[in-house]
């Protein structure tokens, strides 16, 4: 049997964080995203297709359904939470093991840490890459990306986009790899 991600040394293939974060660190407000940016939704789709997504129960409920072409591994302490079409796990550690098995069945070596904040906090020490969309706004919000040490990461790609003609926020697509 292949090793699971948590048995591998930190930063070795496996876990990728995908997040959109505002300039003030906000990632969510009132159970949803405090911006609309279709370019980011397209990028998230490209980054996640064919891979397992590890997410908290609230993030799953904001989406409201299993995302097509991906497998959702949803973490909750509620043993009654059992929507169809997803894998439910009681903590991050077992979710990681489940996601690595799902990834193998899907024929990929990667799984996605998909939020929210506690999931990102648990994923940060293990992830090999962060795919971050920087939203150049400072909205009010109740959910933030956790503090992390930028010195652990090197920026390997950046695309900057100005405010769109449709009023879409200025944003940057950034890839960070663990040093
Ligand atoms: N900008 C982005 O890229 C992005 C990405 C994802 C989410 N978001 C936003 O972030 C917000 C949701 O994030 P959130 O941080 O509030 O919630 P969340 O992480 O999605 O879900 C929290 C819930 O997950 C379960 N959970 C989390 N860690 C757990 C653990 N270690 N063990 C067992 N269960 C655990 C618990 O569920 P139970 O209460 O059921 O036990 C907890 O209440 C929304 O506004 C969403 O739109 C933004």
pLDDT of residue 1: 43
Query: What is the tens place of the pLDDT at every residue in 30-86?
Result: 999 999 999 999 999 999 999 999 999 999 999 999 999 999 999 999 999 999 999
Write the CA distances from 74 to 53, 58, 63, integer angstroms: 8, 9, 12
Query: What is the tens place of the pLDDT at every residue in 87-115?
Result: 999 999 999 999 999 998 999 999 999 99
CATH number for 15-178 (one of 2.60.200.20, 3.30.300.30, 3.30.420.40, 3.40.430.10): it is 3.40.430.10
Atom of ligand 1 nearest to the CA of 28: 45
Decide: 76 in ligand 1 pocket, CB within 6 A.
yes
Residue ranges per domain, the chain?
15-178
Task: Indicate the top mutation candidate among 37, 75, 172 to test ligand 1's pocket, ranked by most ligand atoms within 8 A of CB.
Answer: 75
How far apart are the C-alpha atoms of 1 and 33, rounded to whole Å? 39
The CA-based angle 51-56-59, given to 5 degrees, is 85
Decide: 120 in ligand 1 pocket, CB within 6 A.
no
165 C-alpha vs ligand 1 centroid, how far in Å?
A: 33
Atom of ligand 1 nearest to the CA of 92: 31
How far apart are the C-alpha atoms of 154 and 176, rounded to whole Å? 5
How far apart are the C-alpha atoms of 63 and 74, rounded to whole Å? 12
Task: Indicate the top mutation candidate among 20, 45, 59, 93 to test ligand 1's pocket, ranked by most ligand atoms within 8 A of CB.
Answer: 59
91 C-alpha vs ligand 1 centroid, how far in Å?
A: 12
pLDDT above 70: percentage of residues in the chain: 93
58 C-alpha vs ligand 1 centroid, how far in Å?
A: 5
Instruction: Give this prediction's pTM.
Output: 0.94
**Which residue is closest in CA terms to ligand 1's atom 37?**
76
Atom of ligand 1 nearest to the CA of 18: 3
Decide: 77 in ligand 1 pocket, CB within 6 A.
yes
């Amino acid at each position: 049997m292949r090793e699971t991600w948590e048995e591998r040394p930190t930063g070795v293939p496996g876990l990728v964080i995908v997040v959109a974060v505002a300039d003030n660190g906000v990632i969510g407000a009132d159970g949803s995203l405090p911006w609309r940016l279709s370019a980011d939704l397209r990028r998230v789709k490209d980054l996640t297709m064919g891979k397992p997504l590890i997410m908290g129960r609230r993030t799953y409920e904001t989406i409201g359904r299993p995302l097509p072409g991906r497998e959702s591994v949803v973490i909750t302490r509620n043993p009654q939470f059992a929507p169809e079409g997803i894998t439910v796990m009681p903590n991050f550690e077992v979710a990681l093991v489940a996601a690595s098995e799902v990834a193998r069945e899907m024929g990929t070596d990667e799984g996605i840490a998909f939020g929210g904040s506690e999931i990102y906090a648990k994923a940060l020490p293990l992830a090999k890459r962060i795919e971050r969309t920087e939203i150049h706004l400072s909205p009010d919000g109740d959910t933030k990306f956790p503090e992390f040490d930028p010195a652990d990461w090197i920026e390997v790609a950046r695309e900057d986009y100005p405010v769109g003609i449709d009023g879409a926020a200025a944003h940057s697509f950034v890839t960070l790899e663990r040093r």
